[in-house]
Amino acid sequence: EIFSAFDSDQDGLLDPTEVGTVMELCGMHMSQAEVIDVVTEVAPIVRKLGFEEFVSVLTRPLPEVSILDETRKIFSTFASSEGIITVDSLHTAFASLGHPVSALMAKDMLREADFDEDGVVSRDDFMKTIP
């Protein structure tokens, strides 16, 4: 669902600008040139990433920064000031990145990651979503 939220033209592919936005949201700070290099490396002809290619880019080993540190940054991007992810905090995070999502989509995303079914996504819930 996150992939779809950033696929502005709904063609099933993310262009380098869309990829860069998601990577920034995930705490992976890259210049536009670096994002273009990554997209071109993975999809040299189309220069857009489908879902599977996008996941492969996001799950590449990170050089200098631990996965745990990156995961904490990602969680913080979505979390409210109380340190939990709520429908409102998801909605706000996506809107601040210029990719607003509907309340229904935010609820669906939250429900998928709310492993203890308490209506919010805690850090523990969030960690379970990371392969």
What gap in Å lies between CA 112 and CA 38, rounded to an integer? 29
Residue 28 pLDDT: 77
pLDDT per residue as tens digits for the range 13-56: 999 999 988 888 777 778 888 889 889 998 888 899 999 998 88
Domain 2-58 = CATH 1.10.3720.10? no
Q: What is the CATH number of domain 67-128?
A: 1.10.238.10
DSSP state, residue 57 = H
**What are the structural domain ranges in the chain?**
2-58, 67-128
CB atoms within 10 A of CB 61: 5
Please state, for a pLDDT cut of 70, what percent of the chain lies above it: 94
The β-bridge partners of 121 are 85
Instruction: Indicate the pTM of the whole model.
Output: 0.55
